[in-house]
Every structure is written in C-alpha cells, then in structure tokens.
Amino acid sequence: MRDLSPDLPLVADGTSLPGPAQLAVQDICLTRRGVRLLDNLTLAIRPGRKTVILGANGAGKSLLLRVLHGLITPDTGTVQWEGNSLDSSARAAQAMVLQRPVLLRRSVLGNLRFALSVRGVRGQARAAREAEALDRAGLSDLAHRPARVLSGGEQQRLAVARALSTEPRMLLLDEPTASLDPAATRHIETLVEAAHGAGVSVVMVTHDRGQAQRLADDVVFLHKGRVAEAGRAAQVLHAPRSPEMAAWLDGRLLD
C-alpha cells in the first residue's frame, strides 16, 4: 500500500509540518440518508502532538474521530496508521474516550481489570498498572465502589485512566469535559497533559476555544464535513486564514 503520510498536508492551504504522519486520512467521504457528512476530507496527524479538532455542531468532528479509530468505515477514501492500513493491531495502539464514558457494571477496579485482561495483561503487571491508573485518576479510595455510581467527573477520570492503562500510543478524546465543572475539567486536562508528557499523541474534539488554547499544539477546524483550516494552534486561533474559522471565533458561526 502506498504510504500517504509524507505528502499529506496538515494545513488546509497545502503547507505541511515536517516528518511522516502517524495517522492520516485522504479523500474520505461518508454519506448517511443522502446527506454528505464527511466530504473529501484529507488530514495528517503528526506523532507526539496534541491535535484539537474544533467546529460547529454538525461539522463532522465526532464522526471524524470515529473514522480515525476505525469505529466507522468511510464510504470512500483511505485511512492509514503509520503508512499502513488501519487494522486491528493499529487500533490496539490507540485508545478512545467518549463524551459519555462507557463503564461496565463493575467496580472501579473491575473496569480497569477488564480492560487490561482484554489486552492480555495479567498477574503482577496488571496489578501494577491498576494501582498506577487509580492513583493517576485520584480514585484509589474508590477502587471497590461501583463505577456507575461515581460522579460525572469521577467517571470521566476513570475512563481516561482506563484508556491510558492500556499504554496506547495515541489517545482519542471526544469532548471529554463537555458536561463537567471547572474543577473536573482541570483534572481531565491534567491527565491529558501527563499522558502527552509520557509520549502519547493526543487527538481531542472540543467545542471550547479556551481549552484549545490551553492544550493544543495543532488545531483542525471542520466546516460541513471538510477541513476549513488546520495548522499550528497559535496561528489558527489568533490569525485564522479561513472565513469559516474567523466566523466561529467571532461567534458568527454558532455551535
């Protein structure tokens, strides 16, 4: 298979960041009930970056994230992980957290144990990762509490810590703080920053400009299923080139 990554632009005007892409899509289209939801979308995600995806409601942000993780197969186009097909081994190198965390009817510890067991981690190695994840999320004292009775912030911390316990190379997050208060949001952002500091690439969907400013190395702005603008966060957020991005920043393109 042809390696798409070296010549795929990160920036919509055709410029690019140096080096090969870790995750790339080219000319992907997705249509449902006669409506084109992703429209000839091309994008390269570079390794070791925190990439934030922005856009108004219905722009295709969550759909794109699911395509990147292989949960949805586009009608046309190509998705590649490090120049190869997005197969099961590539998906195992990723972890994804949804806006509403999917937690099992088990304890906090049981949720971690199940995720690690599925990945084949057992014995002392699993116990060490469980303890690390509980400590990372600040949930050690709640290890034996049913996961589904936790507060919203605690549930999301568990979901992020569970994802990171599998030691992914890329973490995908779909608006993980959308319904959280400021304190819970800060805790999630701290987890994300720590993961990135440990070498994990991050791709995150958010509707929050302030969060993008705090976290992003790169920003991708979607409009009607296309990349309207993408590039370094400082440039996109403060000197946008596209009228769609400028309108969103000014509040003329509403979520």
Domain positions in the chain are 102-167
Q: How many residues does the chain have?
A: 255
pLDDT tens digits for 79-99?
999 999 999 999 999 999 999
pTM: 0.91
Position 3 pLDDT exceeds 80: no
Name the residue among 52, 96, 53 with its Cα closest to residue 71. 96
Position 225 pLDDT exceeds 70: yes
pLDDT tens digits for 103-121?
999 999 999 999 999 999 9
- Stated as kind and residue range, the H or E segment containing 218 is strand 218-223
Name the residue among 140, 137, 159, 136 with its Cα closest to residue 148. 159
Residue pair 74/64 in contact (Cβ under 8 Å)? The answer is no
In which band, very low, low, confident or very high, does the pLDDT at 19 lie, cut at 50, 70 and 90? low
Tokens matching residue 241: 């080139």
Tokens matching residue 92: 């195992």
d(CA 135, CA 25): 36
Position 7 pLDDT exceeds 70: no
Name the residue among 117, 125, 118, 156 with its Cα closest to residue 138. 156
163: helix, coil or strand?
helix
